[in-house]
Amino acid sequence: MFAGEVHVLLLGIDKAQRCHNSNLALTSRRTPLPRSGRAVNTQRRAPPRDAASKLQLQMETSNTSSKHVCFLVHGLQGAPGDLTYLAHALQQRGLLVHTVQCNWRRTTDGISSGGKRVAAEIEHVVADYRSRLQWISLVGFSLGGLYVRSALETLFDDTEGTTKVAGLEPHTLICIATPHLGVSSYGLLRYCPRWSHFLAGVFAGQTGRELFLLDEEQEPLLLRMAQHRAALRAMAAFSVRLLVANLSYDLMVNAGTSLVLPYERRYRVPVTTYEATCIHQAPHVRIWQLRPEAISASSRPETLQLKPDVAGASVLVSPFSSGARVLYLLRSFVYFCGAWLVILCTEDQKTKKKKNVQHSGGSDREDIERRMASALNQVSWDRYAVEFDAPWIPAHNRIVAWSRNDFGAWLWRHGRPVVDHIATHVENCPSAQLVDAGVDRSGTSNSPIDAEPQVS
């Protein structure tokens, strides 16, 4: 009797042990759960280690036979996922898209260092698929635009009689909300006292000092980049060159620095200041194209000129029509409070304008910005100005429909029409465009860039 009870007891223990092992096996297959009970998406924590893996997967899974690859570069403190919607819009048009991974969590060690990493990753990806690729396009958002310009110093090659970028034919270059002239003299940041500019180095490292033109005693990096002859020729080699900027509500990058207009320093830029045409209108956003003849780096536009539409009426749409009138009072209250905060927190700009000389040789900051604009404007640009209607939603991330996560994709969704319009400039078969435009790929350009950059 005692032996039978022991046998039953051992069978029960063995069955319990098997059930426990099976439960462990099931839980090991599950995705770990945080305290909130939702599954953790471990794939979002870091980009893939292999720079070419994403492009390889796209080539294997897509049915496109495109030979046109587009590289997307994110900005300061950004991540490759920030430009997810832009990448999707380009893929829908048949392009091969690669979001640059190398600067993830590495955007504070200087523009030059980040540009070298971008150039190395582009060369690595192109080298693996050179036989399948023919054209290259580059799109940079915010600081990513400066990374692209810095990378072009390395990627540009015209030694074989033809102009190449990373061994491919350049097609489209787009800079979205990029601080080409720095940030310290534009928008709301121009009201910050000079003594507070050192905080840029505290929060953004060497990159912050370069954006505030505090990095060198003789010539800042942005000035040397603007006057770099190879980079200017590389930019001029692209058949499509586009600058996109926010007219208002961009707390980081003002329209003046992103459109290379050194005299435009206002936080809110009325579109009536320039001769512009409304080329696209959607709920909450309008896109304006600035006429090239209205842009000059050496003169300030002061006249009001509107381009009429086909019917003869002005294309300018009043921002105070219908429901927007209700928001006008709220905006006025916000601006009134902000104006008082600015008065209380800043120094007298009139007394220190001539005292603070940031660089040797008698060149102040405004002179450096004019020299940068003069060099960059040797390259002809198409300029798009984006106008959003809501001041309480910062426009900097909105212009690219920032979509790193679901909440960001919802919050910045009003920028999707802008992204879709930008994506139309990067087409799958650019060869016909190049022939029609008469672009010379022989390496002999008639641009004034062949001469030394102007450094008035």
Q: What is the pLDDT of residue 436?
A: 40
Evaluate if residue 353 carries a pLDDT over 50: no
Tally the residues of the chain: 456
- CA atoms of 413 and 397, how far apart (whole Å): 10
Give the position of tokens 């995705």. 31
- For 336: left if phi > 0, alpha if psi spans -120 to 50, otherwise beta; the answer is alpha
**Which of these ranges, 82-91, 153-162, 331-340, 348-357, has the smallest mean pLDDT?**
348-357
Task: List, for residues 148-186, the tens digit of each pLDDT value.
Answer: 999 999 999 988 777 899 999 999 999 999 999 999 889
Of 111 and 61, which is predicted with more confidence? 111
Task: List, for residues 324-347, the tens digit of each pLDDT value.
Answer: 444 544 655 565 565 545 544 544
> DSSP of 357-422, one letter per residue?
--SSTT--HHHHHHHHHHHHTTS--EEEEEEES-TTS-HHHHTTT--SSHHHHHHTGGGHHHHHHH
**Which of these ranges, 185-199, 204-218, 324-338, 364-378, has the smallest mean pLDDT?**
324-338
State the pLDDT confidence band at 187, using cuts at 50, 70 and 90.
confident
State the DSSP H helix or E strand holding residue 235, giving kind and residue range, or none if neither: helix 229-237
φ and ψ at 134, to 5 degrees? Answer: -135, -40
Q: Of 252, 243, 249, 262, whose CA–CA distance to 183 is shortest? A: 252
> DSSP of 213-234, one letter per residue?
T-S-SSS-HHHHHHT-HHHHHH
Which of 160-164, 319-323, 423-427 is most confident?
423-427
Distances, alpha carbon 156 to alpha carbons 162, 163, 166, 245, 349, in Å = 11, 8, 7, 26, 42
Q: What is the pLDDT of residue 346?
A: 47
- CA atoms of 198 and 176, how far apart (whole Å): 26
Q: What is the pLDDT of residue 161?
A: 73
Q: What is the pLDDT of residue 102?
A: 96
φ and ψ at 434, to 5 degrees? Answer: -65, -35
Q: What is the pLDDT of residue 337?
A: 60
Q: What is the pLDDT of residue 361?
A: 35
State the pLDDT confidence band at 109, using cuts at 50, 70 and 90.
very high
Give the position of tokens 């893929």. 91
The whole-number average pLDDT for the span 54-79 is 78
Q: What is the pLDDT of residue 425?
A: 85
Task: List, for residues 214-231, the tens digit of each pLDDT value.
Answer: 887 678 999 999 999 999
Q: Which two tokens stand for residue 249?
A: 């509500």
State the DSSP H helix or E strand holding residue 135, giving kind and residue range, or none if neither: strand 135-141
Average pLDDT for the chain = 76
Q: What is the pLDDT of residue 246?
A: 96
State the DSSP H helix or E strand holding residue 252, giving kind and residue range, or none if neither: none
**Domains of the chain listed by start with CATH number:** 53-441 (3.40.50.1820)
Q: What is the pLDDT of residue 318?
A: 35
Alpha helices in 45-83 (DSSP H): 53-61
Are the beta carbons of 414 and 394 closer than 8 angstroms? no
Q: What is the pLDDT of residue 455?
A: 40
Share of the chain above pLDDT 70, in %: 64
Distances, alpha carbon 214 to alpha carbons 42, 182, 220, in Å = 39, 10, 7
State the DSSP H helix or E strand holding residue 113, giving kind and residue range, or none if neither: helix 111-128
Are the beta carbons of 154 and 118 closer than 8 angstroms? no
Task: List, for residues 10-55, the tens digit of each pLDDT value.
Answer: 555 555 555 555 443 433 333 343 444 334 343 434 444 454 555 6
- CA atoms of 326 and 322, how far apart (whole Å): 8
